[in-house]
Structure 1
Amino acid sequence: MARKLLLTHIDVPGIATYDVYRQKGGYRAVEKVLNGMTPDEVVEEVKKSGLRGRGGAGFPTGMKWSFLAKPEGVARYLVCNADESEPGTFKDRYLMTKIPHALIEGMIVSSYALGAHTSYIYVRGEMMPQIRILEKAIAEAKAAGFLGKNILGKGYDLEIYVQPGGGAYICGEETALLESLEGKRGNPRIKPPFPAVSGLYGCPTVVNNVESIASTVPIINDGGEEYAKIGIERSTGTKLISVSGNIVNPGVYEIELGLPVEEFLYSDEYCGGIANGKRLKALVAGGSSVPIIPANLVSTTAKGDARLMTYESLADGGFQTGTMMGSGGFIVFDEDQCVVRNTWNFTRFYHHESCGQCSPCREGTGWMEKVLHNIESGHGSMEEIDLLWDIQSKIEGNTICPLGDAAAWPVAAAIRHFRDEFEWHVKHPQEAQTRNFGLAHYAEPRMPLV
């Protein structure tokens, strides 16, 4: 049985309330840091843990904290990115719904480490139930003396505010989030300066994901070195994974990093195999913005090594044969799924969500959507497949923020691995509209279907 650090008590009745969370050891990490640790010591423990950002980028959290500028007399801020707008990802929403005090405790620990006295949780505006849950948890923590003035009598002050966003994918990008938090249009900023130097209201700011912040609690409770013993190499600790698509057991799982992808997909403890006895065709491993990989590259890398649930193993081979851990949004496609149609659906989303600030993204996503719609609907040509490849290559790396890359990578990977399916749509327009293409990109799993 895999160890759980964040979801240990997730099924305990009433765990969303302060009283039950406290009975299960909640807020011990706050007591520990305020009663005997300096902010620098907290940062050092997070560095020792090897924790990497759980929102998608995978940048070392402790190192990110150490970059925070500390000019005399200037406020510092911690902002929790709870926007979670990546299609296929819903782990943060689950955590905030089921065990909100884990996030609040993590916010207190992290704010103390950064010297922040005002912190914000930026939540998608559509998540009104989660916003109400978080506001209640904040009120409970404040009533218990863990927020407000002179917390635990140790001279540390902190206020946490929940700020609803407007529901824009682009506001998942940290500088666009800060613009939105300041009441402006959510357009990404040009960097430098980076938020660690000039972030919210022009002050030094750290922006971290929900899961990243919540993970500081077990790190402080157990110690950074103990946390680093979980996982392998540079992928330490546990990771929350959202699973959807053609799978027997969709949902949110907490895994130890280093678990074989094949075991995660097919074992009874986790996903339970492909739904309805179908065969696996492809996998999106980290949310819609990462490259799709065909079934023959899901279980093993191009070098023949077992593909593991780690940042390094999933990316092995680069985008030619690998993908990314991303935000941990697993979307599973069985043999009946149309890659062209799903790629078109992703591209429609990115075209709609582009802020329009950069021409390659604003125009390119629209052209990709149009060309993909032509191919999907049986009106495409072979030249348009090459045009699609050319368009995505002109978007990648040419925008202020990563949304352009997020739109380009799925298209590039779909053509790279499933070009014959695109060509089939061109050659068989009538059959393409009924999805009866019957291509064999899948591979037989080495573990039995459940």
Structure 2
Amino acid sequence: MARKLLLEHINVPGIHTFDVYRQKGGYRSVEKALKTMSTDDVVEEVKKSGLRGRGGAGFPTGMKWSFLAKPEGKARYLVCNADESEPGTFKDRHLMTYLPHLLIEGMIVSSYALGAATSFIYVRGEMMPQIRILEKAIAEAKNAGFLGKNILGSGYDLELHVQPGGGAYICGEETALIESLEGKRGNPRIKPPFPAISGLYGCPTVVNNVESIAAVVPIINDGGDEYAKIGIGRSTGTKLISASGNLNKPGIYEIDLGLPVEEFIYSDEYCGGIANGKRLKAVVAGGSSVPILPANLILKTLTGESRLMSYESLAEGGFQSGSMMGSGGFIAFDEDQCIVRNTWNFSRFYHHESCGQCSPCREGTGWMEKVLHRLEYGHGKMSDLDLLVDVSKKIEGNTICPLGDAAAWPVASAIRHFRDEFEWHVTNPSDALNRNYGIANYADPLPKLEEIS
């Protein structure tokens, strides 16, 4: 049985309230940090833990914190990136819905470590129920003395605000998020300067994902060294995985990093295998922005070794035969799923969400969507396959932010691994249109949202 550092109490009735969360040991890390640790001590524990950003990039969190500039007379800010909009990813929404105080506790400790007196949780604009839940939880924490002036008599002050997002995928990129938080259009900034030097309102700023900030709580409670014992190699700790697609048990799972992919898919403890007795065809391991892998490569590497749920193992082989952990949006496709249709669906999303600032992304995502659309709807040509690969190469690495790469990688990898299926769409246009695109359904055993908010 896998250990639970974040989701241990998620099924406890009323855990979304301050009183129940406190009874289960909540806010111990705040007491420990503010009463017994310096800000540098907290940063050092996070460094020891090996925690890597859980939003997709996987950059070491403690190292990111240590880059924060500390000029005299300038405010410092912590911004929580809760603009979860990666297709296939819904773990942060899960945490905010059922464990809002875990995020708030992590925000307090992290803000203390960074010397931030004002912090923000930037929540995707469509998540209004979660925004209401967080606002209520913040009020509870403030009434209990864990936010506001002189927290626990420590002399540390913190105001925490929830900000609805701009309703755009691009606002998940940290500099676009900062622009939106400042009341501007959410366009990514050119870097440098990086937010650690000049971020929100021109001040030093750290932007961290919801799960990353929540993970600070067990790290401070148990110690960075203990956290680092979980996982494998440089992939330490636990990771929340949003599992969806053609699985018997889609949902949110907390795994020890290093778990074999095959065990995650087929064991009863996790996804319980492919729905309806079908065979696994392909997997998108980290959300729609990472390369898709066929079943043989997601279960094993080219050397025949079992693929593990870790940053290094999923990336082994580069983009020729590997993928990325990304945000943990694990989408499984069974043997009946059409790769061309799903790739077109992803491409349509990225074309719609491109901010239009960079020509390769603005024009390239549009062309990829059009070409994939005509392939799916029976008007494709064999030359379209090489055209798609060429367009993806011209987008990749040529944009201000990673959205261009996110749009290019799924298309290039789908053609690389499933070229025969793309060719079949050209030679059998009528048959391709008549395929059945089913998806598994699964009842969520957790409380309904209205019971919480």
Please name the residue that 1:443 is paired with.
Answer: none
The residue correspondences of 1:102-251 to structure 2 (distance < 5 A) are: 102-251=102-251
Deviation string 1:97-136 (CA, Å, 9 cap, x unpaired) is: 0010000000000000000000000001110000000000
The alignment partner of 1:332 has SS state of strand
Distance 1:207 1:171 in 2: 12
Deviation at 1:298, TM superposition (A): 1.4
Please name the residue that 1:407 is paired with.
Answer: 407
Distance 1:223 1:429 in 2: 59
Please name the residue that 1:87 is paired with.
Answer: 87
1:13 aligns with 2:31: no
Aligned residue type for 2:243:
V
Aligned residue type for 2:168:
A
Please name the residue that 2:451 is paired with.
Answer: none
Deviation at 1:18, TM superposition (A): 0.2
Deviation string 1:421-446 (CA, Å, 9 cap, x unpaired) is: 00000011111111279xxxxxxxxx
Distance 1:432 1:42 in 2: 56
Please name the residue that 1:62 is paired with.
Answer: 62
Aligned residue type for 2:76:
R
Aligned residue type for 2:31:
E
Instruction: Give the 4+ runs in structure 1 shifted more than 6 A.
Output: none
Deviation at 1:166, TM superposition (A): 1.7
Distance 1:153 1:145 in 2: 9
Deviation string 1:61-96 (CA, Å, 9 cap, x unpaired) is: 000000000001100000000000100000000010
Distance 2:377 2:296 in 1: 28
The alignment partner of 1:298 has SS state of helix
User: Normalised by the size of structure 2, how large is the TM-score?
Assistant: 0.96
1:367 aligns with 2:367: yes
Unmatched tracts of structure 2, length 5 or more: 438-453
Please name the residue that 1:76 is paired with.
Answer: 76
The alignment partner of 1:80 has SS state of strand
Distance 1:167 1:256 in 2: 32
1:266 aligns with 2:266: yes
Distance 1:306 1:333 in 2: 19
Please name the residue that 2:394 is paired with.
Answer: 394
Distance 1:341 1:12 in 2: 41
The alignment partner of 1:149 has SS state of coil
User: Normalised by the size of structure 1, how large is the TM-score?
Assistant: 0.97
Please name the residue that 1:446 is paired with.
Answer: none
Please name the residue that 1:42 is paired with.
Answer: 42
Aligned residue type for 2:237:
G
Please name the residue that 2:385 is paired with.
Answer: 385
Please name the residue that 2:335 is paired with.
Answer: 335
Distance 2:68 2:137 in 1: 28
Deviation string 1:133-156 (CA, Å, 9 cap, x unpaired) is: 000010000000000000001100
Unmatched tracts of structure 1, length 5 or more: 438-450
Aligned residue type for 1:374:
R
Work out the number of aligned pairs and report it.
437
Please name the residue that 1:445 is paired with.
Answer: none
Percentage identity across aligned positions?
84
The residue correspondences of 1:235-314 to structure 2 (distance < 5 A) are: 235-314=235-314
Distance 1:175 1:319 in 2: 26
1:53 aligns with 2:48: no
Distance 1:402 1:150 in 2: 40
Distance 1:349 1:93 in 2: 20
Deviation at 1:340, TM superposition (A): 0.3
Please name the residue that 1:448 is paired with.
Answer: none
Distance 2:299 2:429 in 1: 33
The alignment partner of 2:158 has SS state of strand
Distance 2:436 2:132 in 1: 46
Please name the residue that 2:325 is paired with.
Answer: 325
Distance 2:258 2:132 in 1: 36
Distance 1:198 1:166 in 2: 21
RMSD: 0.8
Please name the residue that 2:31 is paired with.
Answer: 31
Deviation string 1:275-327 (CA, Å, 9 cap, x unpaired) is: 00000000000000000000011111111111000000000000100100000
